[in-house]
Amino acid sequence: MADRGETLRLEDVKVLIIRAPGTNCDAETKDAVFDMGARADVVHLNRIIKGNISLEDYHGIILPGGFSFGDMVRSGVILGKLLRYNLKKEFDEFIAEGNPVLGICNGFQALIEADFLPGLDISLALG
């Protein structure tokens, strides 16, 4: 993969679209990336967990929408926990390098459940 600090031509950008049981619109997401001029691979989460695919080979990651794992428990929680407990180190490094990560609908919920998005810690209380 190219040095993260160098400027890339759009046609050299490679995006990873992660699919899991119940996610959808991965084909449309791939088409949108292609229409933009970049390349994309749609890869099942299990291939990444097993180490067959490395996040380091990509310049960006997209988690598409849908109903991952049937939204059992609550929206995105199972996918989020699988990401966190199997790929936390890889995602942390990917994000720390400044690479973009996009979650669409349920994908965004999974990113929140995985605790991969930086932000403020807040709590709500009366008074």
1-7 average pLDDT score: 60
Is residue 41 predicted with pLDDT exceeding 90?
Answer: yes
Q: Tens of pLDDT along 93-119?
A: 999 999 999 999 999 999 999 999 866
Res. 2 pLDDT band, cuts 50 70 90: very low
**pLDDT of 37 above 50:** yes
Provide the whole-model pTM. 0.87
CATH assignment of 10-114, among 3.40.50.880, 3.40.190.10, 3.30.2130.30, 3.40.50.720: 3.40.50.880
Q: Are 36 and 10 in contact (CB under 8 A)?
A: yes
- Where do the H-state alpha helices sit in the chain? 26-36, 45-49, 77-96, 106-114
Is residue 8 scored above 90 in pLDDT? no
* Cα angle: 92, vertex 34, 91; to 5 degrees: 5
pLDDT at 92: 94
For 74-78, what is the mean pLDDT? Answer: 90
User: pLDDT by residue (tens digit) across 9-28?
Assistant: 898 999 999 999 999 999 99
Contact present, 113 and 88 (Cβ < 8 Å): no
